[in-house]
Amino acid sequence: MELLDRQRAFFASHATRGLDFRLGALRRLEEAVLAHEQRLVAALQADFRRSPFETYVTETGLVLGDLRLLRRCLRRWARPERVPGILANWPSSNHILREPYGVSLIVGTWNYPFQLAVSPLAGALAAGNCAVLKLSPEAPATAEAVAAMLGEAFPPEHVAVVQGDRPVLDALLEERFDHIFCTGSPALGREVMARAAAHLTPLTLELGGKCPCIVDADADLPVAARRIAWGKFLNAGQTCVAPDHLWVHRSVLPRLVALLKEAVLALYGPDPRAHPDYPRIINARHVARLQGLLGRGRIVHGGQCVEAERYLAPTLLEDVGLDDPIMQEEIFGPLLPVLPFDTLEEVLIQVNARPKPLALYYFSRDRARQAQVLGHTSSGAACLNDTVAHVANPNLPFGGVGASGMGGYHGRASFEAFSHRRAVFSKPTWIDLPLRYAPYAHKLWLVRRLLG
């Protein structure tokens, strides 16, 4: 592929390794985001009918915050890291260099089509890589806006955008990259991992999962309801870390459901369809998929759908079975199943019986029970008494574990994700102790003491 040949040649020139070059690339990217911000807002409005506020807090604002942190801290993070030596190697010096992998493939996805492509790109540039971005065709207006923005800011031998349907991605995955960063479903992650294995390509996978939310009996219910409703119905539920389903202590379930209804009303009014801040489902295929999930359970709020407008109301469901389809696949839409539990131990068994989620949410004022949840579960991230907000902090790594992904990014974690930690050992020649050289007779006792 000619594009990859050009990027490999540019990387081989060592131009991308210099710190001044990398900082300049990050500055150009930040300037490009600011210059194209209104076009990006319009594009996301076209793809999702998303409000400018929501676009800023979930897309452009997150990327700008990440870029500013990278620019401010890159020189410090990129310094060689000295590590202790061992007595058996005396005298010597030991340090770690962080080096770029080379040419990275970044596979974006459609639900946050700007942020989930450009935020990883910031990490790739900070580490000194060249990058090929494969944008999702399911958000076509945003893909065009991102391609135009990056095309103006960077030459294609440094940063290139590739668009197209699945055959284009398949063709890219046939090529040898030095690193792959992929955001998508667990099914896509498995396929990308299998394809990367052909070239032994290191990769970072940001996948999905059914993120559980647990509300205990002692939770602040009004606050919990507002924060759950906000996190669930942000972007009409099309968020990989949205609360997927809600476990509520049986003693407070009726009260919480009533408060959730009030919270939805406060967020989007009596008719969310007419509210300017309530987005749409990305396309007709996903509308049909979500409607199919409504076949089981009892709708206690919402449920209205206007297919021609890609509108699906914020919806609460009760009487959902654990084997129902809505509890077997990631919902990725504005449907929230509410399930009762009697003991915390019981619900933790249910959580641990499922693949490890990208995020887990627990509402309780009891610190011992908070510690119990953290100590008896595994997830990419965990939030206590809130949902989704952890994503906004670039000082926290964002990533999954197990089926929800491998590796993390944001802030320093982005720089590390696109960097190889190269061990460097240096030994002077002014002394050359004979201990390690044969013959070994009578040396073992000393080696044991030095290495033991």
E-strand ranges in 257-385 read 298-301, 305-306, 311-312, 315-318, 335-341, 359-363, 381-384
Q: Tokens 């942020």 — which residue? A: 115
**What is residue 419's three-state secondary structure?**
strand
Amino acid at 420: H
Task: Please say whether the beta carbons of 131 and 121 come within 8 A.
Answer: yes
> Nearest 5°: CA angle at 279, between 49 and 361?
145
Is 206 considered catalytic here? Answer: yes
Calculated CA dihedral for residues 154, 160, 163, 167, nearest 10 degrees: 180
- Structure tokens belonging to residue 56: 């800023």
- Structure tokens belonging to residue 391: 């994503």
DSSP codes joined into one string, 76-107: HHTS-EE----GGG-S-EEEEEEEE-SEEEEE
Task: Please say whether the beta carbons of 358 and 209 come within 8 A.
Answer: yes
Residues in the chain: 452
CA–CA dist 299, 335 (Å, integer): 10
Residue in 17, 62, 1 with CA at minimum distance from that of residue 158: 17
Residue in 222, 430, 439, 238 with CA at minimum distance from that of residue 332: 238
Out of 59, 157, 206, 330, pick the active-site residue.
206
CA–CA dist 60, 411 (Å, integer): 15
Is 182 considered catalytic here? Answer: no
E-strand ranges in 135-202 read 159-162, 179-183
Strands 203-206, 405-406: pairing kind? antiparallel
Out of 240, 305, 330, 383, pick the active-site residue.
240
CA–CA dist 43, 144 (Å, integer): 8
Residue in 278, 330, 276 with CA at minimum distance from that of residue 304: 278
Amino acid at 220: D
CA–CA dist 330, 244 (Å, integer): 7
Strands of the 93-100 sheet, one edge to the other: 81-82, 93-100, 419-426
CA–CA dist 65, 82 (Å, integer): 29
Catalytic residue positions, numbered: 206, 240
